[in-house]
Structure 1
Amino acid sequence: MLEFRTQGYNGYSVKYSPFFDSRIAVAASANFGLVGNGRLYILGLTPNGIVAEKHFDTQDSLFDTSWSESNENQLLTAGGDGSVKLFDVNVPQFPVQSWSEHAREVFSVHWNLVSKDTFLSSSWDGTIKIWNPNAPASITTLPTHSCTYSAAFSPHSPSILSSVSSDSHLRIFDLRTPASAANHLTLNVPIHTPPKPRMGAAAPVGIAPSEALTQDWNKYRDTIIATAGVDRVIRTFDIRAPGQGPLAVLPGHEYAVRRLTWSPHLSDILLSASYDMTCRVWTDGSAMGVPGQDAMMEPQNMMNGGGREMGRMGRHTEFVTGVDWCMFGAEGWCASTGWDERVLVWDARGIMQ
């Protein structure tokens, strides 16, 4: 396990470069993001450990970062002052572009993985904005009418994106649809609605909604999305059958789940980061004879067996707020960061059982 200290700054997001297996970006904030400056770290993995290649300071907290999919040296930041900034590793000190349309904190940024010429941001102001890095203003604004903690483009389509918000809903937008009163909204799934009972079974008890903080698209099954948040439970959904409720329900974290990400190598594996100071590896059960791509046919199967925690990493000593998989090489390497001012790089295979 490798370690780097973000001295004086509490980590919020960590992302591997899509171009280099040895480069990591970390978005961090002074004073736990409550007040003060932010810092974007560019870290290199070397035979002598993790070294800081460069850092950029900002006047307000940073809550997320996303590497450009078209330029290996550029990356975005999500700012507490409502700004979205684009930095270039080869340009000293200042961002090469900055946008300030959001009225409140920007909590997530995500680059389009397919078309590569657009990215998005989501904010506490209840909107998602679509941007082109060469344009001075946003291309599209998508209202969610609630604090939107996470938004992401589908890795399978250039025009489909998802979000989760404080109102406990998973939303799917399709930019190809007409810009009607729905503003490209094609699906609105209440995360805490229990699944429909089977014929002759008693109706399940409903769960009180709570804030959804994180979500991610499965990299291999293009209709599967995982969500998690304040209620500590990870759920997976098939957007082809939203009325059926969650496919897999994975309880176990003791406090809110702050971030999760599907493995880029294995279709059933998830990695989560939580305020309970742990990172955990999960399987949703789809590789164990439980329906995966065709899970919409029998959604109860995953809930009744298959999905489980495979292991946990408990080396952090404060809230874990960021986690990411390395896309290159062996299938288990990942990085995590948290409020303990630490970035850890470790092999998830060492904890999986």
Structure 2
Amino acid sequence: MLEYRTEGFQGYAVKYSPFFDNRIAVVAAANFGLVGNGRLYVLELTTQGIRPVKWYPTQDALYDVSHSESHSAHLLTSSGDGSLRLFDTNLEPTFPIATFSEHSREAFSCAWNLTAKSTFASSSWDGTVKIWNPERERSMLTLPTHSCTYSAQWSPRDEGIITAVSSDSHLRLWDLRTPASASNHLQLQIPLHAAPLSARANSARPQPTFPPNEALTHDWNKYRSTVIAVAGVDRIIRTFDIRQPAGPMQLLQGHEYAVRKGVE
């Protein structure tokens, strides 16, 4: 088993490069992200173990990282000060090549569009999801959630579809290909604490009830284009099919603590 210790920093996210199968990016924060600096690590997996290639210090905690889908050396991070920073690992300076500062609170996730490749998204505790182009200083679109939003993810198949999960115990889906309206492209708003579909199918049995809980992470199934997994504070992983948004398909229980991060 390969191991690398981020001495003095606690890891928040790790992502494989879409261009190099032996390269990963890791973001970490001092003092468990409560206060202090952050650090971005670029690591390579070798036959001798995990080798650090570069690392970048930041003045605030880093919570998420995403590789650019169009440039093999570009890495995007989200920070506790609400900013997003773009780094170029081919350059010697440890400063970002671009900074995007619109969120008014912690930016807790960032995700590059897997299909369009020219846009990325971020979500924040300020109750918004923002869509960006790396060549523009200002965001292209703001999608309100009105609650602390921990995770935003693009569909791996449809370039205009993006989802987010929030502290209000809902999974939201927007289709940016639809005309702008009062709903801000919102197509689905699924309550995560609803009873499972299997319980609804058997009406003779009493339906289980679940109190609302903060959702901390989610991801799309890369092989079943309508399936999404969601997890959070109540330690339960739920799978949803957006074609049947009335409730979760499965409840996967076994974690003893809140599920902070999960990747399909």
Runs of 4+ in 1 over 6 A off after TM superposition: none
Aligned position for 1:236: 239
8 Å contact 2:196–2:250 — kept in the other structure? no
Matched, 1:223 2:226: yes
Matched, 1:110 2:115: no
Matched, 1:46 2:10: no
Q: Report how far residue 88 of structure 1 moved.
A: 0.4
Any idea what the Cα deviations from partners look like across 1:306-329, whole Å, max 9, x if unmatched? xxxxxxxxxxxxxxxxxxxxxxxx
Tell me how far apart the structure 2 counterparts of residues 205 and 118 of structure 1 sit (CA, whole Å).
Answer: 40
Correspondence 1:303-322 to 2 at 5 A: none
Q: Report how far residue 195 of structure 1 moved.
A: 3.4
Matched, 1:248 2:243: no
Q: Which has the higher contact order (CA 8 A, sep 6+)?
A: 1
Correspondence 1:89-108 to 2 at 5 A: 89-91=89-91, 92-108=93-109
Correspondence 1:1-353 to 2 at 5 A: 1-91=1-91, 92-195=93-196, 197-198=200-201, 200-243=203-246, 245-262=247-264
Helix, strand or coil for the counterpart of 1:31?
helix
Helix, strand or coil for the counterpart of 1:69?
coil
Identity %: 62
One-letter amino acid matched to 1:50: I
Tell me how far apart the structure 1 counterparts of residues 116 and 90 of structure 2 sit (CA, whole Å).
Answer: 24
Any idea what the Cα deviations from partners look like across 1:278-300, whole Å, max 9, x if unmatched? xxxxxxxxxxxxxxxxxxxxxxx
One-letter amino acid matched to 2:226: T
Q: Report how far residue 205 of structure 1 moved.
A: 2.8
Tell me how far apart the structure 1 counterparts of residues 202 and 11 of structure 2 sit (CA, whole Å).
Answer: 48
Q: Give 5+ residue unaligned stretches, structure 1.
A: 263-353
Distance 1:167 1:200, change over 3 A: closer
Helix, strand or coil for the counterpart of 1:110?
strand
Tell me how far apart the structure 1 counterparts of residues 29 and 14 of structure 2 sit (CA, whole Å).
Answer: 13
TM-score by length of 2: 0.97
Tell me how far apart the structure 2 counterparts of residues 59 and 120 of structure 1 sit (CA, whole Å).
Answer: 22
Helix, strand or coil for the counterpart of 1:209?
coil
Q: Report how far residue 200 of structure 1 moved.
A: 4.5
- Tell me whether 199-208 or 139-148 shows the greater mean CA deviation: 199-208
Tell me how far apart the structure 1 counterparts of residues 208 and 22 of structure 2 sit (CA, whole Å).
Answer: 48
8 Å contact 2:120–2:132 — kept in the other structure? yes
Distance 1:199 1:60, change over 3 A: closer
One-letter amino acid matched to 2:147: S
Helix, strand or coil for the counterpart of 1:205?
coil
Tell me how far apart the structure 2 counterparts of residues 199 and 32 of structure 1 sit (CA, whole Å).
Answer: 44
Tell me how far apart the structure 2 counterparts of residues 13 and 259 of structure 1 sit (CA, whole Å).
Answer: 8
Tell me how far apart the structure 2 counterparts of residues 201 and 216 of structure 1 sit (CA, whole Å).
Answer: 33
RMSD: 1.0
Tell me how far apart the structure 2 counterparts of residues 225 and 236 of structure 1 sit (CA, whole Å).
Answer: 6
Helix, strand or coil for the counterpart of 2:116?
coil
Tell me how far apart the structure 1 counterparts of residues 227 and 164 of structure 2 sit (CA, whole Å).
Answer: 13
Helix, strand or coil for the counterpart of 1:26?
strand
Distance 1:250 1:70, change over 3 A: same
- Tell me whether 192-201 or 8-17 shows the greater mean CA deviation: 192-201
8 Å contact 2:196–2:251 — kept in the other structure? no
Tell me how far apart the structure 1 counterparts of residues 203 and 28 of structure 2 sit (CA, whole Å).
Answer: 52
